[in-house]
Homo-oligomer: A and B are copies of this chain.
């Protein structure tokens, strides 16, 4: 199930992600604890399952690099992608806190993951209330994102939905310095976009073409460019979220 695990690489204090502005500063003490909490690193191959619905994984992960997605399936195979997984994301909490995982996570590109032992989560709560609070923060944040997606899928038209999703992806990528100017390269196919939006592949493609024809975005070969940001935001009904710093466990 899991990709082969490779040894411990670098200590958390040297984690390159921490240098990004989006992540809050941690105290040396906190860093030391997380360092001990961390059990190693894991490489997930593209297409491999990182977490599986129904299992109760003994691990929690923080994404160091690469792209993935969280999804659920219906019995007949219909798939809904719940959220994208990007560097800095903390995944597997549901499986640790509740009985078992109710969704799966798949790696899209090669991913490097920080591995934590679920058993030690309790000692985090017992000894580092600030970190416990951070985990709650992350959970609340994910909830907020899902609220927004629910609004989008439930009430926005295909065009609006797509515009919203592209802005969402772009802004998250930007905070992680994964963009260049107004372009972003990522491994999602239109099928993934369709499954995120709750649309069919064909209709997603046509909608994308429409945005393209409107000179709002360009999408070609896993590279997408925001041509007219204002227009895109207007279509999406996007209001820039208050810039917040997030914890990085």
Contact = CB atoms under 8 A, between A and B. Distances in A.
Interface stretch (A11-19, A33-41, A90-98): A90-98
Interface string A191-222: 00001011000000000000000000000000
Interface string A74-100: 110011101000000000011001111
B244 A147 contact: no
Nearest to A71: B151
A237 B136 contact: no
B155 A80 contact: yes
- Interface residue tally on A, bucketed by range: 35 or more
Contacts of A135: 136
A198 B137 CA distance: 28
B143 A139 contact: yes
Instruction: Kindly report how many copies of this chain are found in the complex they form together.
Output: 2
A98 B150 contact: no
B132 A136 contact: yes
A148 B72 contact: yes
Interface of A: 70, 72, 74-75, 78-80, 82, 93-94, 97-100, 102-103, 122, 125-126, 129-130, 132-133, 135-137, 139-144, 146-151, 153-156, 195, 197-198, 237, 242, 244
Given A97-B137, A102-B148, A146-B146, 11 more contacts: A72-B151, A74-B155, A94-B140, A97-B133, A102-B144, A125-B132, A143-B143, A143-B146, A146-B150, A153-B198, A154-B197
